Structure 1
Amino acid sequence: MKTIKNIIPAVLAVFVITVSSCQKDGNPNNLPDVSPSTYEGKVDGYTSSEEVYPTNLVAYWSFDGTKNEIKSNTAPTSSANDALVAGGVKGQALSLNGGYLYYATQFNAFKTEALKSFTVSEWVQIANNGSKRTMIFQLARPGIFNGSLNFSINTQSFPASNTTDLKIQPTFTTVGGGTQDNINTKRDNPGDPNYVPYLVPAFGANVWTHLLLTYDSTTGVFNIWGDGMKMGAFSNRGVGNSLFKSYEPGEVIIGGNYNTIPGKTVSANTDFAAMTGKVDEIRVYNTVLPDAHIKALYNLGKAGK
């Protein structure tokens, strides 16, 4: 019996060390909790989306009782066919019926030296808005058709409910004055090292879809995420003159571009129409969120947190 008593503490000590080691190895992204689902009120270790990289959150639209950008308390300069309605991902959401929000103010957080790498996260419900493209978020350039960042969806070709063919196609302007894009589209060569299977998240007028972009200024990688899945087919967009540039002065448009705003038309282009659908929880970070934290934002939104 004496021998057994001596062995048991040693076995327990080894067991504790082994479990602790496994927990550390199983959390390479340093999430606050490794639980993959809700555990003691938490989702992926968080109790709220507000806990995800708060020091890097530089702009936030909650649409919960206000259309103002929360960090700067900036109100829209003008808007059309818009309302705050119940039933958002968290609290209220912005409802647009061929509408938009326009912010003529230059946000300090989006100036050239402040925004190099970024993550843009938002939740949307999209209805086909008349066989036109849908611009859900734009860092606009006064008097110029294409903004520094254009977060658009190709609803000009397919209804928003068509999850077989509908494409997400964001673009950005570069240091050299050109344009780079990414798109979730079919790739013919699965053996290609950059191959990504063609994926489309669930879209629709009554479906909340989480869309997210990341851009890394050190590598030129520009990624599309939908409902917690990486789905861009052409993520590596190069460096040098192909790097993203946030041009100044800049403005923000939610739900459209200049050609959808009366009195602001800059060209004869009619590709876009003001958005019909809903938007909620727009977050802009001045860094690339790690994959696990992107998935946590999606899971938190699904849980209403």
Structure 2
Amino acid sequence: MKFSNLYTKGWLLGLTLATATFSSCKKDGNPNNLPEIDASNYAGKIDGFSSSDEVYPKNLVAYWSFDGTKNEIKSATAPTSTSNDTFIPSGVKGQALSLNAGYLYYGTQFNAVKTAALKSFTLSEWVQISNNGSKKTMLFQIARPGLFNGSFDFILETNANPATNTDYIQIHPYFTTLGGGRQDNINNFGATNLSPKIGANKWVHFVITYDGTSGIFDIWANAIKVGNYPSRGTGNNVFNSFEPSEIIMGGVYNLIPGKSVSTDTSFGAMTGSIDEVRLYNTPLPQAYISALYNLGLAGK
């Protein structure tokens, strides 16, 4: 059968158009012309970071690594006095500091915790601790000379349960307000009642965040939010870092010779270990708290 030239040309034109149309419908794997990703740039990283040191470095205002030194790293401030402390090799990241009814006392005004410098904050630290059934433990205090309560008191109520209870630790931080009152959060009331497992050889990552704009005061344990009363108000109820101030870890003034300020005996010097204490001048978002936790688990 013969076909006219006109028919043949029309058929070829239609085939060409159909082929072009089909080709134009193929999916473009990079429609926005994004740059190529080199997988090697992410090798060995956790949550996008190679080290805890990469998490919010510009807002890190004080840091204790306890890797062979008790000095605060950023200011090179040495403790004024210490008691019953020793370095141990099995820290979260390098060495850690073990306390046996001990404490660290820094009788220095840190610029990082002056009133104008610390309106919001995050405190992150790794801790090994057990309940004791008798005395509270002050993990970290921005202390006010001559006063029992500090501007910020990170308290573990290790007195609330016996040492055999490794399923629950009562976490009870406080801060002093601009108006002179006290605000707190705690993990033992309400529906959640969350707590990490604890023990003398079990590292737990504790984080306290405070947002001076919203008044939100949160408790985190192993990257899980566990506080029951985060909304602490604004106005005269906001946190205030009073001056002068000092820093105490593992104790209170009444446990330091020559520094007693009251007859309160509710606290005992800390028995346990601490590592990687970081103070930021901003409330870290949850993703970065999780990153610090995951990096710590990996020794980074």
Range of TM-score over shorter length:
0.7 to 0.9
1:11 aligns to 2:35 (yes or no): no
Tell me the residue number matched to 2:280: 285
Letter matched to residue 26 of structure 2? V
1:121 and 1:11 mapped to 2: Cα distance?
51
Q: How does 1:132-147 map to 2 (within 5 A)?
A: 132-147=135-150
Q: How does 1:265-276 map to 2 (within 5 A)?
A: 265-276=260-271
Aligned pairs, number: 280
Tell me the residue number matched to 1:263: 258
- Structure 1 alignment gaps of length 5 or more: 21-32, 34-38, 189-196
Tell me the residue number matched to 1:201: 196
User: 8 Å contact 2:131–2:160 — kept in the other structure?
Assistant: no
Q: TM-score, normalised by structure 1?
A: 0.86
> 1:27-66 CA distances to partner (integer Å, 9 max, x unpaired)?
xxxxxx9xxxxx6201001000000000000000000111
Letter matched to residue 51 of structure 1? E
1:19 and 1:99 mapped to 2: Cα distance?
59
> 1:175-214 CA distances to partner (integer Å, 9 max, x unpaired)?
01010000002315xxxxxxxx221012110000000000
Tell me the residue number matched to 2:85: 82
Q: The residue matched to 1:144 in structure 2 has which SS?
A: coil
1:239 aligns to 2:234 (yes or no): yes
Q: The residue matched to 1:147 in structure 2 has which SS?
A: coil
User: 8 Å contact 1:130–1:273 — kept in the other structure?
Assistant: no
User: 8 Å contact 2:250–2:270 — kept in the other structure?
Assistant: yes
User: 8 Å contact 1:129–1:276 — kept in the other structure?
Assistant: no
Tell me the residue number matched to 1:184: 187
User: 8 Å contact 1:259–1:267 — kept in the other structure?
Assistant: yes
Q: The residue matched to 2:66 in structure 1 has which SS?
A: coil
Q: TM-score, normalised by structure 2?
A: 0.88
User: 8 Å contact 1:95–1:279 — kept in the other structure?
Assistant: yes
Q: 1:208 and 1:16, CA in 2 relative to 1: closer, same or farther beyond 3 A?
A: same
2:84 and 2:278 mapped to 1: Cα distance?
23
Q: The residue matched to 1:301 in structure 2 has which SS?
A: helix
- Structure 2 alignment gaps of length 5 or more: 1-14
CA RMSD of aligned residues (A): 2.2
1:293 and 1:68 mapped to 2: Cα distance?
25
Question: What is the Cα deviation at residue 12 of structure 1?
Answer: 3.6
2:105 and 2:22 mapped to 1: Cα distance?
71
Match among 52, 68, 71 for residue 68 of structure 1: 71
Q: How does 1:70-149 map to 2 (within 5 A)?
A: 70-129=73-132, 131-149=134-152
User: 8 Å contact 2:131–2:166 — kept in the other structure?
Assistant: no
1:303 aligns to 2:298 (yes or no): yes
1:172 and 1:304 mapped to 2: Cα distance?
31
